Structure 1
Amino acid sequence: MESRRKAGAGAGTGVVPSQEYKGDAAKLVRRPKTTMVAQQPARIRRALADVSNLVNGRAAVPVPNRQKAQNAVVVAADKCRKAIKQRNENNKVQPEVIVIISSECEKEKKNPLQRAVSRRAPIQTLTSILTKCSRASDGVITTPKKAPTYDIDVCDAHNELAVVDYVEDIYKFYKSTESTCRPPCSYMSLQAEINERMRAILTDWLIEVHYRLMLMPETLYLTIYIIDQYLSMVSVPRKELQLVGVSAMLIACKYEETWAPLVKDFLCISDNSFSRQQVLCTEKSILNKLQWNLTVPTMYMFIVRYLKAALGDKELENMTFFYAELALVQYSMLVYTPSVTAAAAVYAARCTLGLFPLWSDLLEYHTGLAEPQLLYAVFFMTQSCL
């Protein structure tokens, strides 16, 4: 009993009783050990000098503040990042500074779109300005036409002889060279014995010969070109004018025809007015004066192209060639280039047949000529019919 009282007294004081005081009851019932630490008042002490806050002889482990630890980690990470960034900037190669002392620096300030537009902008040259002023004075300024949607060469796509892939370039070359190849329009003043009327009679007779011999159309236009070119270089007597015409047609036949007529055919059709030797000598003289340059753009080449763009029928074709032959007879039509004369023939034919419109956008695109530019040529062409 005494031992029980002592045990109860020890439990009340909070002191764990020693094992030697435990009785049989202590062996049967085990109570959990409870440790009660007396709360001591907080007081200021010096570090490592006062160790009175010991519990069971061991120092308490300080619990760190989590928020402070996180802040410290963030600060350290920021310092590391700043140090790495500073090191990279120090190691980076500094770009070379180029000072531009020119007016080009102003152009570089433009955005890329403005620079691209300025590069594509057309440059106004003195020639273009003078050309515009000249056209404005004549009243023939026209806006450039866009490429038509209708392809006039689609019907010849499978024809290898039509050379559809190169036909546009070929006609551009014809137009660029026709001015240098055509004879001068004032050569008749150099002739002493012949005049414009005699030339018209010779041309009309050659058109009839061309029809009788059933020659190709190209032959007739090349013949007239050879005659005009030769007359602009040599003063021909009146009695030899027909001989020059026959020799010129013989040369054109050899150039254009598959089966050229013989010399005796031309002697027969001219009623033996001259001999075979005279024809051959005149032929040789013409070729030497022309330096064998017979590949030239004639009116016929442009008429074929323009009739294709006119989308006309056989009646329009016959009427166009009628006006073209009428232009061959007239000496005054030498003022115009073959392309302009061909366009005027097509325009006159459409006016005669009453086709509307008289000059379509398709014709204007392929000829490069507006309707007002053709009126004077049409007037000179048709004045012999009035």
Structure 2
Amino acid sequence: MASRVVDQQQARGMAVAGVGVKPQKKNAVADGRNRKPLGEIGNQQLVRGIEIKPNRPITSDCRNFRAQLLANAQAAAANENNKKQVCVTVNELVAVKRDEAPKPVQKKVVNIKLKPKEIIEISPDTEEGLIEKAKHEKKKEGASKKKAAPTLTSVLTARSKAACGLTNKPKEVIVDIDAKDAGNDLAAVEYVEDMYKFYKLVENENRPHDYMDSQPEINENMRAILMDWLVVVHSKFELSPETFYLTTNVIDRFLSVKTVPRRELQLVGISAMLIASKYEEIWPPQVDDFVSLSDNAYSNVQILVMEKMILGKLEWTLTVPTLYVFLVRFIKAAIPDEQMENLVYFLAELGMMHYGMLMYCPSMVAASAVYAAKCTLNKSPAWCDTLKLHTGFSESQLIDCSKVLVSLHAKAAKNKLQGVFKKYLSSERGAVALLSPAKVLLPPAKASGGSS
């Protein structure tokens, strides 16, 4: 053993002294080409757990080298442990992020629910949810009990309304008055509503204004006499109703813009009926027929000259919504029988005889005639939602005009001008002129009067 130590010291001393002899490297540690002899040093026993006993004595150099290898092995092991911990930490963070990523979305969805009711529905199994749900149900029960229990004020109000006949009635059903004419092309069901909206808009454009003050030789009585005579002429010629209503419109519009002497007033009426007949009739009467009916008071030339003058003053405007246009529609909305229909026309023509009715627009006169006829025949209800829809007037708006028509009805039997009264006295028109006027629309003093 001593000799081996000396030999190693001599070899080491030679290297230090700078002798050119190079020591032999038995284990080839410095080359780094063959790492296998490192296992004999003992640096593997810590890494792999294999204990290897050296077969030679351990010197100070070996101890230093072994310490260095151990330090390197420990450093390598520490680095590997650090890498493993980093990988585990990263994987755990990724897993945690994957698990926790949807959680904020769920919280947002829950937080969006503003009402506590919806939150209770989402988590009904939790204690807080059950408590909130129980409170909510108690509130509902309390509210229902409060609603179910009527107060003394509400009971008294209901009784007073019932006593006065003001109980809430169900809404009336609006009748489709054009349903029966769906297959009739002449009824123009698709356009009739738009047509009457247009009539209502333009009815005031061609209305005659108050003209008696501008007519020095004509008064209201003369006009009534002319209208009464034209009723007879219209019946003899058997003309359509549209012709008579247009004739009256043409006369009043012409007298509104032209001063006419008394001797030509009948000539104006004849020419106006000739114009209306040409406009409305398929076979209008000839001029000679009007000459003979006027007992040759006017010649053919005079009639034609007056016809030209009237058309010039009216600017050839003959397509106007007359009273008859509205009567046809409003009577249809009333769903009448034959008696009621004749009575409406009777009241409307009585109104045409009266000059004071010019203050009302044609649609109001037509609606008032329907309302007065229903009151005369005691039809209930006197005014309904269907009539209100199609006429555009409420019951209160028609009271004044209806009272005027009913008062004319009350005086018709004793009036000197019997043209309209005799026309509706015939059995063909149901003898509606003999009906008693509506007492509810007459003053108390005159309510007992009238024909029966």
With structure 2 as the length reference, what TM-score do the two structures score?
0.57
Residues 76 and 365 (structure 1 numbering): CA distance in 2 closer, same or farther, change over 3 Å? closer
Amino acid at match of 1:50: Q
Find the partner of 1:260 among 271, 279, 284: 284
Question: CA shift at 1:162, angstroms?
Answer: 1.6
Partner of 2:221: 197
Instruction: Give CA-to-partner distance per residue, 1:1-59, whole Å, 9 cap, x none.
Output: xxxxxxxxxxxxxxxxxxxxxxxxxxxxxxxxxx994599xxxx99984336999xxx9
Partner of 1:325: 349
Instruction: Give CA-to-partner distance per residue, 1:195-243, whole Å, 9 cap, x none.
Output: 0001011101111111111111110010000000111111111111111
How many residues are paired up?
A: 278
Question: CA shift at 1:178, angstroms?
Answer: 0.8
Question: CA shift at 1:159, angstroms?
Answer: 1.5
Instruction: Give CA-to-partner distance per residue, 1:235-294, whole Å, 9 cap, x none.
Output: 111111111101100000000001111111111222222111111111111111111011
Alignment map for 1:198-277 (pairs within 5 Å):
198-277=222-301
1:163 is the counterpart of 2:181: no
Structure-2 separation of matches of 1:47 and 1:192: 149
Where do 5+ consecutive residues of structure 1 fail to align? 1-34, 80-145
Amino acid at match of 1:213: F
Instruction: Give CA-to-partner distance per residue, 1:113-137, whole Å, 9 cap, x none.
Output: xxxxxxxxxxxxxxxxxxxxxxxxx
Residue 70 of structure 1 aligns to a residue whose secondary structure is helix
Structure-1 separation of matches of 2:66 and 2:226: 141
Question: CA shift at 1:74, angstroms?
Answer: 5.7
Structure-2 separation of matches of 1:347 and 1:213: 31
Structure-2 separation of matches of 1:377 and 1:238: 30
Amino acid at match of 2:196: Y
Find the partner of 1:286 among 307, 310, 313: 310
Structure-1 separation of matches of 2:355 and 2:334: 27
Measured on the aligned residues, the alpha-carbon RMSD in Å equals: 3.2
Residues 189 and 62 (structure 1 numbering): CA distance in 2 closer, same or farther, change over 3 Å? closer
Instruction: Give CA-to-partner distance per residue, 1:170-203, whole Å, 9 cap, x none.
Output: 111111111111000x201111111000101110
Structure-1 separation of matches of 2:66 and 2:331: 119
Amino acid at match of 2:88: Q
Structure-2 separation of matches of 1:211 and 1:222: 15
% same residue: 50
1:304 is the counterpart of 2:328: yes
Q: Is the 2:208–2:256 Cα contact (8 Å) retained in structure 1? A: yes
Question: CA shift at 1:61, angstroms?
Answer: 11
Partner of 1:71: 89
With structure 1 as the length reference, what TM-score do the two structures score?
0.66
Structure-2 separation of matches of 1:61 and 1:189: 125
Find the partner of 1:379 among 403, 423, 427: 403
Larger mean Cα displacement after TM superposition, 63-72 or 265-274: 63-72
Alignment map for 1:324-343 (pairs within 5 Å):
324-343=348-367
Say which structure, 1 or 2, has more relative contact order (CA 8 Å, 6+ apart): 1
Partner of 1:51: 69
Alignment map for 1:339-350 (pairs within 5 Å):
339-350=363-374
Structure-1 separation of matches of 2:49 and 2:342: 134
Residue 50 of structure 1 aligns to a residue whose secondary structure is helix
Residue 204 of structure 2 aligns to a residue whose secondary structure is helix
Question: CA shift at 1:381, angstroms?
Answer: 2.1
